[in-house]
Structure formats: structure tokens, C-alpha cells
Chains A and B, each alone.
Chain A
């Protein structure tokens, strides 16, 4: 997600890592690159200035200069500073006081509030809560319908009020939650510009009426320099408690994260990483910072893999792989496991060094490709899946027709399957232990 920023920073810091001495001059050179990288990553220019000043003060400290590896020390400082600006330790959204806990979601138009409210509802339910959703957006056409639909698909309770008044809709939802025994009320507000006084008054009135326990500001990760002005204006108008960063599944460098965290000094609680209802992750400042520095977000990956991979299936796979008996059935169940974890490119980003290997992201097949491969395997008979070598020309034609693909695609799959089977045998001879992702076929 931050790969472009990562690339720039990495080359800068690699240069620095080698140097045995840090002085004003060598630091200035690195700082120039660092500044450019951060600016092109959309970090606010004022934040960049403060950031570099803080890093410089620490980097030119005598202790650092006298250490054996000053270059590496500086990298450590940059990392620590990034983490600290991004909010330090991971912040958990906690509720205190009496239920229902009211959460108000605010932000600019198009930031992704409604989608986020749906995702947050699903997240809260996974945490064992009973959320009630309500839209108080009486401005955008069909905004309320959008949340209703979201609720239907995700099976989340949405409070529907007949009122066209934002404040009344909010208070009705709180009453409704009390009546139903829901412990969280998620209020989706209309998108508004921070300079629109009337609209800011409206959201203040909603907040005054329902006294939310928590106000979260939703920020689009693609936003540029304006992130600072908008976020701070909202934080001035309302007692904002933290942020949610959206659309991080794109390729935005996400400098906005650094900007809003720096100027509001409020934590970022969550990151939206996709269009599915479960695509909301707890935001980890330390991991994102270490990813920026190219150390890879190993922790996130491990968590992801552990959370989604069916261990029994994987163990069976491993055993057969070791014996060189992998079949196309296994191949398919592997593909399904991958798809459960999310897109390949998303997984790749989490691997250390992946961002420094140019083109790796392009190599990762997107979900559509994986789906086609699955269709091809589905169009084979059981026997074919277990003994792919019997698949001759006419069988290939039938499989292509059955899966709606082409013979070339079937050929490609069979070839790659044969290659990865060979590769796996080789790897196992070397006695390397299979991790769930080490035996992913290469595409």
C-alpha cells in the first residue's frame, strides 16, 4: 500500500546505511531525498518539515555519531519517529460507561463513511457486540437506502426512522438501541466540507443531542495536502477521538496518515482495505512504519495467514507435497485458501523486501485470474485432476470450453502446475520446511 513511498525511502536509507559517519553534510543529502519522498507521498509539507527537524536533532546527537553503525542508527530513528508520529502503540477502540455506546462517524464527501459504518458494524459484531446502525444523512440522495442495503447484505440491524431531521434520527436510534438492547449505536453522518458552516453546525447539533462516546473521522488515504486542513477543522469543531483511513487497498502512498496523525495527535484506529464487508483492519502504526522502511509487515502477514488458513488442509497438503504427490485438487484448495486471505498483491505487500523487488506486484495474479484457474480445474474430471498427464488435446479443448477459457490458458495452467510440482520436490529434498506460503505456485 505504501510501495511507492517505500521505494524512494529505501534507496535513500540504503545509501545511508553504509556510511560510517553521520555529519551535517551526509544527513542533509539524505534529508533532501527523504523530504522529496515524503512530499510525493502526500505528507503535508509542514509535517515533513517538523518530521525532518525531529529526525535531524536525534540523528546528529553525539551518541549516535559515535556509535559503530551511525547509518543504521539513523534508520532506526526515522523508523521510531514515523511510528511515534503515526501514534506510537496500536490503539484499541475501547468503550467505557453505560451501553449503548454511541459512535459518530464524520468526514468529507466521498471519504467512505457509509461503507466504513457497515464494515465497523461487522467488526463490532465479530467482537461480540450488538451494533445498531443509523444514517442521519438527510442530504445525499439515497444515502439512507445505501446503509439499509448494506445492513441487509451484512445482516446488521439498521434503524429506520421516518424523520428527515438528522438530530431526530440520531436520538431515535439511541432510543431504539435501548429498547432492543443493542450495546453500540453507529451513526453515519452526511459528508460535509469543513468550511461549510451550516453543515458543521448540523453535525455539532447531532453530537450535542446524543453525546457520542466516540467520534471517528474518516479520511480517504488518497487525499493530498488538504488532509491536514480538513482533519484539523473537524477536530476543532467536534471532540474527535480518532481516525479511520479508507481505500488503503489502492496504491496511494498514504502520506495522509502521517499528516492527520501529526496535526491532530489522535490515533488512527482502523484501515479500510477493500470493498468487502470484512475489509477493515485494525491500524498498526509500528507495522506500517516498518513497512515504509522496507522491513516488511511480517506480523500482519502471520496474523492473516493464521487467521484464515485451515491448518488441517494445509498439513495434508504439506504431506502430499513432500511426497511429490500434489494433485490439481490440492492446487485448487490452495487457491481457495489464498483467496480467503485476500488478493495476492495485498499479501505480497506484507512480505519483507517485496516492495524493493520491482514488478513483483505486477506478477501477482489478481483475483479474476485466480477465479479463471479455479474454473479450469472445476471443468476437469476427478481422474484428470489426479493424473494431469492424461489430459490430451481433445480433453484440453473440452476443459477450455467447459470453463469458458481458452486452450492456451489450460496449457499454461498445466505447464505451471508441472513446474511447481517439480520445484516442490526439489525444495523438499533440500529439507526446507514448508510454510503455508512457500509452496505457492509461481505464476
Chain B
């Protein structure tokens, strides 16, 4: 697992690498190459505005330095926001998982569970998606496979009640971490967004210093709308970080860079497949290397 990002992004970095290959050492970068680079960055969903700013930052660089300067700037943006995650003082760590429909929340929870099990921790999962048909069954199958306890109620139950139950169960069982799966919701649905506030409030009755982490699961193929999602979920659910999923396709998840830059949310994890082991902790340098095709040694 030398560079999971390089492997995952290998299909997508060709365009940027191609543009970078056009650089002739010793000369100043010409406008056409910069334009190619800009298009390549936009093609990675970094967004026109961020891409233009990034290109401006290397406009004066010598050709042989462009690649490194660009990488350094991108890493700087990503690392500037990667603060420490709050840990639980006593009792279980409560992790709330939110996101729009189809972003990969349930699968991500399975992967996160696996990650914590591998560390020898005791995990409990709360099926607080009581809306989508068969969401509980989907999570139950994962929980059975992974051998962890699942707290669920009937379909249509109050998600906050499920979260509350799960936190109580986690305290009673001495679990190290409890993951709360929530129903997918578009960030434009005011009522559903305030439901997340309620879930937060209710879990605090059991675990007062929680939720320690609120992860926004962002589909890696998402375009500039990702920024709107992050803004809205930050406001209603107090998001602390991102899980960037589906990076095993040709998408690059560049909007996460814009999210880091504009609203300061770090990427915590990256999903690269459908198996429960296909999750990696985020590493800015490796991610940017994978994206730009920059040699790590450079």
C-alpha cells in the first residue's frame, strides 16, 4: 500500500501530467502551457476560480519549478486545515456520519468500522437512517460481516431516538467508538437538515462532549456543488471533516481542495473501492502527488 492515492488517482492524473510534460526547463512558462494546466486542474473539479488562483501563483515560476510549486501550494492548502480530531475524554467516541443521497455513507461506515476494529477497538453502529428503504438491512449485513453490534429500530422511527439508544448502549457495553449512520439528505432540505441538529443534541444527553467527529461523506465525482454541501452541512451538523469517496474511478475529488481553501474543512479519509478495507487516512502530499503525477522525490 505504498501510495494508495497514486494508484487510485492513476487513471485521472494523466491530463495534468500531460500538461506538465509540456514544460521546457530553463524557459519561462508559456501562456499555452499555463492554459493547459488550468484546464487540467478544472478537469480535476478543482473549480475555475481556485484553478485560476493556483495558476496565478506559479505564473512567474521557471518551467522546471512549476510542478513542484503547484504541488507545494496545493499541499499547503490541504495541510493548513488538517487539525487534530477531538478524542473522547471518557466513554465512547461518538462519530456522526452525514451526506447527500448516494454519497457512500453506509459503505464508508463499514470501512471506518473495519479500521477501528483493526486497531483493536470495540465498535458499535447506529442505524439512524430510518428513511431509505432497506437502509437498516444494508447496514445490518455489514455489521454481521464485521461482527459488530448494530442498534436499530423499525423503519420510520425517529433517527434521534436510534442515536440516543446507540449512545446509551455504547456506554453500557464500554464501546470505544459509536458510528451513527444517517439518512442521505440534500443540503437544501431545511427540515431534514435540522433533524441533524436534533441528533447532535440528543446524543449529548448521553455523551456530553460528543459528537467528537462529524464526517461529511462527499462523493468524489461531485463538482462545485460540493462546496455548497460542505457549507450547509457545516452549519447544520457541525461537520469536522470529509470522507472523500469513489476515488477509484476517473474522478479526482478536486472540489475537496476548494472546500479546504474556502471553508477550512480537512479531508480525513479517502474511499477507493467497495471492500471494507478500501479506505485510507488522508495524506495531503500523497494525494497531490497522485493527482499531479509529481514524483515524490522531487
Partner-B contacts on A (CB < 8 A): 35-36, 39-42, 44-45, 108-112, 115, 139-143, 145-150, 153, 193-195, 220, 222-227, 229-230, 247, 249-253, 255-256, 275, 345, 366-368
Selected from A39, A112, A147, A368, the residue in CB contact (under 8 A) with B102 is A112
Can you spell out 9 A-B residue pairs with CB atoms less than 8 angstroms apart?
A: A115-B101, A141-B138, A145-B137, A220-B102, A227-B221, A247-B100, A250-B186, A251-B225, A366-B191
In the bound assembly, the distance between CA atoms of A262 and B244 in angstroms comes to 28
Q: How many angstroms from the CA of A332 to the CA of B167 in the assembled complex?
A: 41
Asked if B138 and A140 make an inter-chain contact with CB atoms under 8 angstroms apart, the answer reads yes
Min C-beta distance of A234 to chain B, whole Å: 12
- Give the bracket for the number of chain B residues in contact with chain A: 35 or more
4 extra A-B contacts, CB within 8 A, seeds A195-B249, A224-B254: A42-B45, A42-B225, A146-B137, A250-B187
Q: Which of B47, B134, B186 contacts A145 (CB 8 A)?
A: B134
Chain B hits for A153, CB < 8 A: 133
Q: In angstroms, how far is the closest chain B Cβ from the Cβ of A111?
A: 6
Partner of B246, one of A36, A108, A255, A275: A108
B117-136: CB near A (< 8 Å → 1, else 0) gives 00000000000000011110
Contacts of A35 in B (CB 8 A): 48
- Chain B residue nearest to A191 in the complex (CB): B102
Which residue from B11, B223, B252 sits with its C-beta under 8 Å from A252?
A: B223
B187 contacts across to A, CB distance below 8 A: 250-251
B228 close to A (CB within 8 Å): yes
Report whether B228 and A251 are in contact in the complex, using a CB–CB cutoff of 8 Å. yes
A111 to B221, CA, bound (A): 10
Give chain B nearest CB distance to A134 CB in angstroms: 15
Distance in angstroms between the alpha carbons of A149 and B154 in the assembled complex: 13
A223 and B188 form a contact (CB under 8 A):
no
B167 CB to nearest A CB, Å: 24
Residues of B within 8 A of A256 (CB): 223
**A102 to chain B: closest CB distance in Å?**
24
Which chain A residues lie closer than 8 Å to B133 at the CB level? 145-150, 153
A224 x B138 contact (CB < 8 A): no
Q: Which residues of A contact B155 (CB under 8 A)?
A: 149
Considering the complex, give the chain A residue whose CB is closest to the CB of B132. Answer: A146
A110 and B104 contacting across the interface, CB-CB below 8 Å: yes
A109:B246 contact, CB within 8 angstroms: yes
Q: Which B residues touch A229, using CB under 8 A? A: 250
Residue of A nearest to B39 (CB): A45
B141 contacts chain A at the CB level, 8 A cutoff = yes
User: If the complex has contacts A141-B141, A251-B225, are A366 and B190 also in contact, measured as CB distance less than 8 A?
Assistant: yes
| List of A residues within 8 angstroms of B140 by Cβ | 142
Tell me the residues in window 193-235 of chain B with beta carbons closer than 8 Å to chain A beta carbons: 194, 219, 221-226, 228-229
Question: Cα distance A230–B138 when bound, in Å?
Answer: 26
Docked Cα-Cα span, A222 to B224, in Å, equals: 8
Q: Is the CB of B221 within 8 A of A108?
A: yes
Q: From A109, A112, A143, name the one whose CB has the most chain B CB atoms within 10 angstroms.
A: A109
